[in-house]
A and B are shown apart, each in its own frame.
Chain A
Amino acid sequence: MPASSRYRDPGHLPNRRPGRQPEPAEALPRQRAGMTPQMVGRYPEYDVMREMDSWDPTTRDVVEDRLKPSGPLRFFACDEVASAHAFCDTVTAQHHEPRIPVVAMIDKKYAAGRLDGFRYDDMPEDGETWHRALAGLDAVARQRYRARFADCAADVRHAICEQFARGELKGGVWDGLNCKRAFSVMMRGVVSAFYSHPWAWNEIGFGGPAYPRGFMRLGEGVREPFEKPEAVSDDPVREAAAPRT
């Protein structure tokens, strides 16, 4: 009998678990092919970059560019960089290397003056929102823990961000900034950066660019030859021994 994915059952989904939080990261399958953020992923044998030769040249350039080392930061000021990293790491749960360079990607966008096309009437420009909110996170951390936001432990940063997401931060910067909307503006930038990165595509098993090749197998449970099966187990030894589908 072929091994079936351990993820057929929805028990791992945050909505089904206490505190709407997933299993600890240590329980996740380890990546074996290609790169993923923190080398965890649902598709251990899948590396989207192996398909690069099937992409059109324009798309290939755009995607490859994301894998190149980024230059010095130009948008974030020196004293903001630590907070920016701490915030982005917290809201994407990137607690160790290898990390997708979210801060560098956001920095590049704002330094180039690229906009998203709208601003809420009670909000400053998106770039200014980042500056103010990072200062605000630092102020909250200093006031409560006498430490910079970046120097707080992960669970403390998570708790502060929880209040940030709910719009519950008060005082100082936060009295002049719509807290909930600021979180949404910043998260829009964070997820756009994180999930444009091929490492994230490996982690989630996304097919990636598909021109001029396209897809032929649209049915349930069927895969293109280059798509890989989901992890069957969280134990790499047992997994390696399991019969392949």
Chain B
Amino acid sequence: MTAVTQLLKGSIRPKDNDSAWLLDPRRRGVPNRDRTVHHSESDEVDLCIVGAGAGGSVLAQRLARAGWRIVVLESGPFWDPDRDWVSDEAGSSKLYWTEPRVIGGTDPVELGKNNCGEGVGGSMVHFAGYAPRFHPSDFRTRSLDGVGQDWPISYWDLRRHYERVERELPVAGQHWPWGDPHSYPHSPHPISAGASRIWDGAIRCGIEMRVGPVAITNGVMGNRPHCIYRGYCLQGCKVDAKANPLITHLPDAIEHGVEIRELSRAVRIEVDGSDRATGVVYIDRLTGQEHMQRAANVAVAGYSIETPRLLMLSESARFPHGLCNNEDQVGRYVMVQGAPQVAGRFPDEIRYYKAPPPEVSSEQYYETDENRGFARGFALQTVSPLPIAWAEHVLADGHWGAALREYMRDYNHWAVLGVLCELLPQPDNRVTLADDADSYGMRVARLDYTQGENDRANIAYAKDIMRAIWLEADAQDVLTIDRYAHLIGGCRMGFSPADSVCDADQRSWAVRNLFIADGSACPTQGSANPALTIMAMASRLAERLGSRAGFRAPAAAGAG
């Protein structure tokens, strides 16, 4: 009887990830943390991962199940959602990497919130929750459209991993007709008033939309409850309904012997005379003491800014411009997505703060259409700013003072539509080291960003489409904000050391036991939110590594 009850409760259980079943139904967070195995620093573990986000967590969970001994260094805290997270917009800034960085270029990318995260779970703690796959065409933009770069792997290399991760998160949504058509393990969520308005306008414009795909439980999964539609996805899900590695992969990783070392800021990767990584030097942020974790393999998964920064900080006589940077490729081809948003105003109360920000989306404009006059495309998605984000939206349209207050009082009448425009990789859109230093005396990252002509044309076209949708939806007024989202690239995978930092197995060309395990390795980004792809890539990397005995046993000399 018990077995039958378990069988019928909630969604399909992933075959080899018990995370959701290891959680405590009465409190949030990671209950098995106190069972963590502790590794000594002098003990050479099989793998040291920098960063406990989307890439690092999946890699750790997979390889731990294959018997690897793993330490994950995480700069931020090990979150306890009950105690640390709040149902409040301003109170959530600790989820972001807010240390100094310098931005430049013609079209600078504002950092802080909306990119790299701080703490166990990484930026997925504050991501909205959209979990679309990349399209098969994203891996071949150079061949198909003459722009961007082809990947050394194809969509079909990732497909199984997409399916596996979609079951683990889990992803909820309607059947997906774009790219490689597929279905989702959880059914679509109900939609709010704002999303309905967008849906109606889109249909009148001849644009099809679909509910989802969102990494939010629609029903019970293990000990994760149903979403309560409280709208604070970007502030860290206190409910445990929205997926992030803290609850989707790390409980299982810890159960299989992974040690997550919180408040450990990696500052340098050590390399020996034969160009092999020997471990990671980090600062214990509680004591300020420097430590080194020895490891047979190192994987860097610190987001597209901190990953190249760590490599550049690891300079030596052999690598005078930073580790793996003798070919001058580290930090190059950083991409963002153009993410303007247009809000529409309606006579009745919409109250968009209710329901998760990610609700319905469309990839009808994802692929190249020569009639539009530019290559590649964009995705349409709903968003729903809380008051501070709404104030920034109003401000961006040129209103302050009494006009700002008036649009703010009108908050409940608005619905907001956003796009993600694929912006193409450029060598000079790059992370470098600035002269400024952080509180540990380490040089901070500088990100230069300039849009190309194709990028500008794409963003302008996408804004026109959003305005057209609002016009068809009979919106009474519109307000527009220009912004960016989703950094990726910076240590891309490629075909040779001259065009990339790592190979098709995300293994760096210069240091053969050093792996790039986050979005930095992506050569292009499409117009899909990258979290699912970063997880799928880490899942594939783990499979590749686990199948090569040479990497595993550190005692085996000349391995790899």
Contact = CB atoms under 8 A, between A and B. Distances in A.
B348 interface: yes
A14 B403 contact: yes
Nearest to B84: A58
Interface in A6-35: 7-10, 12-16, 20-23, 25, 28
Interface stretch (A78-86, A144-152, A191-199, A235-243): A191-199
B475 to A, nearest CB: 9
Contacts of A1: none
A197 to B, nearest CB: 9
Contacts of A211: 87, 228, 230, 232, 238-239
Nearest to B114: A117
A136 interface: no
Nearest to A201: B387
A210 interface: yes
Nearest to A121: B104
Contacts of B41: none
A73 interface: no
B103 A196 contact: no
Interface in A192-224: 192-196, 200-201, 203-207, 209-221, 223-224
B398 interface: yes
A117 B355 contact: no
A118 B282 CA distance: 23
B347 interface: yes
A203 B408 contact: yes
A42 B412 CA distance: 10
A56 interface: yes
A135 to B, nearest CB: 21
Contact of B354 (A5, A15, A217): A217
Given A117-B97, A212-B228, A227 B407 contact: no
B398 to A, nearest CB: 7
Contacts of B498: none
A180 to B, nearest CB: 12
A213 B228 CA distance: 8
A195 B345 contact: no
A121 B102 CA distance: 6
Contact of A218 (B113, B191, B412, B476): B191
B220 to A, nearest CB: 15
B401 A218 contact: no
A12 B410 CA distance: 9
Interface in B475-500: 476-477, 479
A212 B405 CA distance: 30
Nearest to B394: A191
Contacts of B410: 7, 12-13, 42, 204
Nearest to B227: A214
B104 A58 contact: no
Contacts of A221: 193, 348-349
B229 A214 contact: yes
Contacts of A191: 388, 391-392, 395, 404
Interface stretch (B88-96, B324-332, B517-525): B88-96
Given A10-B476, A218-B191, A196 B347 contact: no
Interface string B97-135: 111111110001011110000000000000000000000
B90 A196 contact: yes
Contacts of A13: 345, 406-407, 410, 476-477
A163 interface: no
B84 A118 contact: no
A219 B229 CA distance: 12
Nearest to B406: A22
B156 interface: no
B508 interface: no
Contact of B412 (A16, A56, A58, A204): A204
A218 B384 CA distance: 13
Contact of B111 (A23, A56, A117, A121): A117
Contact of B231 (A28, A120, A215): A215
Contacts of B321: none
User: Which residue among B193, B197, B395, B402 has the maximum number of chain A CB atoms within 10 Å of its CB?
Assistant: B402
A165 interface: yes
Interface in B373-407: 386-388, 390-392, 395, 398-407
Given A14-B403, A191-B388, A204-B387, A118 B87 contact: no
A188 interface: yes
A119 B91 contact: no
Contacts of A116: 98, 112-113
Contacts of A114: 93, 98
B411 A59 contact: no
A63 to B, nearest CB: 6
Contact of A117 (B87, B99, B345, B476): B99
A90 B228 contact: no
A47 interface: no
A207 to B, nearest CB: 5
A91 interface: yes
Interface string A134-158: 0000000000000000000000001
Given A210-B232, A218-B190, A42 B102 contact: no
Contact of B403 (A21, A56, A206): A21
A13 B407 CA distance: 7
B207 interface: no
Contact of B108 (A14, A120, A201): A120
A115 interface: yes
B82 to A, nearest CB: 7
Given A195-B89, A220-B196, 5 more contacts: A59-B91, A117-B100, A119-B103, A120-B102, A120-B103
Closest 6 pairs between A and B when the two form their complex, measured CB to CB: A214-B228, A117-B112, A196-B90, A220-B193, A22-B406, A121-B104
28 contacts: A13-B476, A15-B477, A15-B479, A20-B398, A22-B403, A42-B409, A58-B85, A59-B86, A59-B88, A62-B91, A63-B91, A91-B401, A92-B401, A114-B93, A116-B98, A118-B102, A120-B103, A121-B446, A125-B100, A194-B391, A195-B391, A196-B88, A196-B387, A205-B412, A207-B353, A209-B86, A218-B229, A220-B346
Interface of A: 5, 7-10, 12-16, 20-23, 25, 28, 41-42, 55-56, 58-59, 62-63, 90-93, 114-122, 125, 158, 161, 165, 187-188, 191-196, 200-201, 203-207, 209-221, 223-224, 227, 230
